Amino acid sequence: MAMGRGGPMGHGQRPSMRAALVVFKYPVYRQLWVSSAFAFMGMQMLQVARALLAWDLTHSFGAIGLVSLSFGLPMLAFSLVGGAVADRVDKRNLTLITNTLIGVLAVVTAVMVSTGQMTFEILIIVGLMQGTLSALGMPARTPLMAEVVGQENMMSAIAMSNTAMNGTRLFGPALAGVIAGAWGIEWAYGAQAVAYALGTLTMLTVPSGLGAAARAERAPSNVLKEIGGGLRYVAGHSTLRLLMGMMFITTFFAMPYIMLLAGFVQRDLGQSEEAYGWLQSISGIGALAGSLGIATVTGFDRKPLLQWLSGLVGGGGLILLAALSGPFGFAGAIAATLVLGLFLTAYQTLNSTMIMDAAEPQYYGRVMSINMLTFSAMPIMAAPLGAIADQIGASTLFVVQGAMVIGFLLLVALLNPKYTFGRQVPRVFDGDQPAGQGARPAAAGGGYAGVSARRP
């Protein structure tokens, strides 16, 4: 029977959480998942603490955007390097080193805040360092989790990895906000350092040398050639090109709203620092529901359509955030952020799983690094959008952002109707075996009806 990487394909396949949870039978995957959950907890707390600290130092939307920009620029500059490195070295060790150093930076920041030495300029420098470490380490984490379960379970592995990230959104932001409001921002940084430390300790239980055989088969090459090879691979693969563009739509025009919430909640809604953390966590409820929902439909053959519809509703959620916050205040913002968390997460989770499903294993690190370039757009766009929010107001900006997301997605459907409304084509493996059991794809097509793929 022909099988896709996520299992048998068919429009009649029912959503199955049991099929999604099969990846947890692998002990190494469980260890990686727990380590990732701690690291994601630290990341969620860092996002809140950084925004609150920038607001506390400047009381400016634009300043929050600049701090976000300091994190995004090195991700833009070094993500491709990180992807090339991830395909050449032990991904476990690379993740371990970068995770540890980010935790150390959190400790340094906490000390500087508590001693009154922190300034806006130093916060920018710390953001540059954190962004660089993330750019070098993140392209290794997701491919590592996919590699340990085999290609037949890869999509479930990625989807469940996203549940770790989005599950921490339930607690991380609220915890950081509560700690910052009760004891000070420096304690929020201290708490995130503890989370990163726990992630590092868990990663130490993961054996090194994973993927060594695949790395040994690779021809020696320098990093620049590796980067060029990854770019040519994606450029020559029509499905990957389109999926990268789809991700840019939300990271450019939708996701930067997260960076602006710290000021919006306090200035426009008159709420406290704790309220900002709670609002982020409420968004995490929707995000967790979205990632769990997608984890149950990895074998569904209409993923492009499901992603497109999720994006449309996500764009509408931004408009809803402005519309409901006016008459209903913080309660209206809660309702809108639930919608945003659910549908934007579903959109991005689908995009990530389809990218990894379309890519070949030897390109995982570089493909994920190119995908990370789209995520760097979120903090980069926060800077100009923050400046605009200072002029026209955050609510008006949310409406403009939502309208742009909807407009671009409608354009995608018009230009690529076969992709958007077509069915996913099953990927056939030699010997009728799932990938990951020694089989190679018999036909490396793009994976979607109406979208061809060329291999370099």
**Domain formed by 25-208+220-432, architecture:** Up-down Bundle (1.20)
Domain locations in the chain? 25-208+220-432
Most confident of 5-19, 98-112, 206-220: 98-112
Smallest Cα–Cα separation from 106: which of 169, 203, 188, 176?
A: 188
Report whether pLDDT(382) > 50: yes
Q: What pLDDT score does 189 carry?
A: 92
* Angstrom distances, CA of residue 23 to CA of 54, 296, 419: 40, 13, 29
Cα gap 129→132, rounded to integer Å: 5
Task: Grade residue 112 by pLDDT with cuts at 50, 70 and 90.
Answer: very high
Predicted confidence (pLDDT) at residue 8 exceeds the cutoff of 60? no
Residue 4 vs residue 375, higher pLDDT: 375
Q: What pLDDT digit, counting tens, does each position of 300-335 carry?
A: 788 899 999 999 999 999 999 999 998 898 999 999
Among 98-102, 280-284, 445-449, the range of highest mean pLDDT:
98-102
Question: Which region among 40-44, 157-161, 287-291, 447-451 has the lowest average model confidence (pLDDT)?
Answer: 447-451
3-state per-residue secondary structure call for the chain: CCCECCECCCCCCCCCHHHHHHHHHCHHHHHHHHHHHHHHHHHHHHHHHHHHHHHHHHCCHHHHHHHHHHHHHHHHHHHHHHHHHHCCCCHHHHHHHHHHHHHHHHHHHHHHHHCCCCCHHHHHHHHHHHHHHHHHHHHHHHHHHHHCCCHHHHHHHHHHHHHHHHHHHHHHHHHHHHHHHHHCHHHHHHHHHHHHHHHHHHHCCCCCCCCHHHHHCCCCCCHHHHHHHHHHHHHCCHHHHHHHHHHHHHHHHCCCHHHHHHHHHHHHCCCCHHHHHHHHHHHHHHHHHHHHHHHCCCCCCCHHHHHHHHHHHHHHHHHHHHHHHHHHHHHHHHHHHHHHHHHHHHHHHHHHHHHHHHCCHHHHHHHHHHHHHHHHHHHHHHHHHHHHHHHHCHHHHHHHHHHHHHHHHHHHHHHCHHHHHCCECCCCEHHHCCECCCECECCCCCCECCECCCCC
Confidence class for position 254, pLDDT limits 50, 70, 90? confident
Token output for 229: 């090879």
The Cα 290–Cα 345 span in angstroms is: 6
Mean pLDDT along residues 403-420? 93
pTM over the 0.75 mark: no
**Residue whose token pair is 């766009």:** 381
pLDDT single digits (tens) 361-381? 777 777 877 777 777 677 677
Comparing CA positions, the residue from 350, 354, 330 lying closest to residue 342 is 350
Q: Mean pLDDT, to the nearest integer, of 432-444?
A: 37
- Say how far apart CA 49 and CA 281 lie, in whole Å: 14
pLDDT band, very low/low/confident/very high, at 298 (cuts 50, 70, 90): low
CB atoms within 10 A of CB 248: 15
Q: Can you read off the two tokens belonging to residue 254? A: 């939708």
Q: How far is CA 440 from CA 127, 151, 161, in A?
A: 42, 10, 25
The larger pLDDT score, comparing residue 377 to residue 356, is at 356
Q: What is the pLDDT of residue 452?
A: 39
| Per-residue pLDDT, 3 | 39
pLDDT at 93: 87
Query: pLDDT value at position 149?
Result: 77
Per-residue pLDDT of 174-221, as tens digits, reads: 788 888 888 988 999 999 999 999 999 998 988 876 655 555 555 556
Task: Give exposure, 394-410, as e/b (b: 16+ Cβ within 10 Å).
Answer: bbebbbbbbebbbebbe
Q: Which residue has the tokens 């309702």?
A: 335
- Name the residue type at position 342: L
CB 81 within 8 A of CB 223: yes
Give the whole-angstrom CA distance, residue 451 versus residue 167: 34
Q: 429 phi and psi, to 5 degrees?
A: -115, 145
Say what the pLDDT of residue 315 is. Answer: 95
406 CB contacts (<8 Å, ≥6 apart)?
312, 315, 316
In percent, the amount of the chain with pLDDT more than 70 equals: 83
HSE-CB of 95 using CA atoms within 13 angstroms: 32
Q: Which residues contact 219 (CB under 8 A, 6 or more apart)?
A: none
Give the whole-angstrom CA distance, residue 312 versus residue 377.
20
pLDDT for position 72: 76
Residue with the two structure tokens 């040994």:
216
pLDDT above 90 covers what percent of the chain? 20
pLDDT of 259 above 90: no
Q: What tens digit of pLDDT does each residue of 47-93 get? A: 888 888 888 888 887 777 788 778 878 877 777 777 777 777 788 88
- Model confidence at 13, pLDDT cuts 50, 70, 90, reads low
In this structure, of 150-159, 236-245, 310-319, the range with the lowest mean pLDDT score is 150-159
Contact 283, 48 (CB under 8 A): no
Residue, of 74 and 10, whose pLDDT is higher: 74
Q: Mean pLDDT, the chain, as a whole number?
A: 79
